[in-house]
């Protein structure tokens, strides 16, 4: 028997359900919130796009993939709007190996771009969705894609998923990160019309991919209208970041306001916000 090289590590076995640790999830949710508040202005969900009562059923939340912040959005939205459900997220295995702690908060690695990886993903997804209090969150395109790209791409694994999870409810999620009036970008979100897994399973794969793409595009298009309006009143605000420019300029404005007996407001646009 040949011993392994000293610096050779055994590849971790993917077991998202068994590895999940609620205490670590609570800790990293706290850390993600702090990180968000430092770098973003606010996390907002369109009033028309708040999640519904989906019953005691497993969920598949399938989102577009506009940027790096999508994983943070999944964390914040799931913990704010879907407690006590447990969230699981597939992620490129090579990328996940750089962040091993994520395996304890529901993230599991998949080998992208190969039939073997697709089969492994579907088996893990079936296991994850085997209980009604679980939900699978994933970026449907399987790659980064601009919010204006049409038709919205749907990865092959996403198209096949209803065959392995026919009892789940499939919920489209639109994400966008526009800049409005402040120096930090917004995180805008909206959940669309749910689709029964059985209805998707009954379709052939081309029709199924088209149905998923059209449902996601419709949600994204409606959210785009609210993003263009730049009206915070159209949204429920789940989390706010730090306002203002920061630094010496903001300190000077605060001193001037205090000297004049005025309330200091660091925002460029002082409109009141809902939420």
Q: If you average pLDDT over residues 23-41, what whole number do you get? A: 95
Which residues have C-beta within 8 Å of that of residue 203, sequence separation ≥ 6?
211
- Confidence grade of residue 144 (pLDDT, cut at 50, 70, 90): very high
User: How do strand 169-176 and strand 195-196 relate by DSSP bridges?
Assistant: antiparallel
| CA proximity to 102, closest of 186, 9, 31, 5 | 31
**Mean of per-residue pLDDT scores for the chain:** 89
- Confidence grade of residue 112 (pLDDT, cut at 50, 70, 90): confident
Residue 264 has what pLDDT?
A: 46
Give the global pTM.
0.86
Residue 50 has what pLDDT?
A: 98
CA distance 80 to 29: 10
Condensed to tens digits (0 to 9), the pLDDT of residues 115-127 reads: 888 899 999 999 9
Residue 275 has what pLDDT?
A: 47
What percentage of the chain carries pLDDT values higher than 90?
75
CA distance 232 to 220: 17
> Is the pLDDT at 43 greater than 80, yes or no?
yes
Residue 6 has what pLDDT?
A: 47
């Amino acid at each position: 028997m040949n011993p392994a090289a000293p610096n050779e590590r055994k590849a971790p076995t993917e077991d998202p359900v068994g590895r999940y640790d609620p205490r670590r999830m609570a800790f990293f949710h706290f850390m993600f919130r702090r990180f968000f508040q430092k770098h973003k202005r606010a996390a907002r969900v369109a009033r028309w796009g708040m999640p519904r009562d989906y019953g005691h059923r497993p969920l598949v939340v399938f989102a577009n993939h506009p940027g790096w912040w999508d994983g943070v959005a999944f964390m914040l939205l799931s913990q704010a709007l879907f407690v006590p459900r447990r969230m699981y997220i597939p992620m490129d295995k090579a990328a996940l190996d750089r962040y091993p702690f994520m395996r304890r908060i529901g993230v599991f690695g998949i080998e992208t771009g190969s039939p073997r990886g697709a089969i492994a993903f579907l088996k893990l997804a079936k296991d994850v969705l085997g209980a009604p209090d679980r939900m699978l969150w994933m970026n449907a395109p399987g790659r980064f894609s601009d919010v204006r790209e049409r038709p919205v791409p749907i990865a092959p694994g996403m198209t096949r998923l209803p065959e392995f999870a026919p009892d789940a409810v499939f919920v489209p999620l639109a994400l966008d990160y526009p800049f409005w009036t402040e120096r930090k970008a917004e995180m805008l979100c909206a959940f669309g019309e749910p689709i029964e897994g059985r209805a998707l399973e009954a379709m052939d794969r081309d029709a199924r991919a088209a149905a998923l793409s059209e449902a996601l595009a419709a949600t994204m298009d409606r959210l785009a209208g609210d993003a263009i309006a730049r009206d915070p009143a159209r949204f429920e605000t789940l989390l706010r970041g730090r306002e203002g420019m920061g630094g010496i300029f903001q300190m000077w404005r605060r001193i001037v306001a205090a000297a004049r007996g005025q309330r200091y407001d660091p925002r460029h646009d002082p409109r009141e916000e809902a939420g």
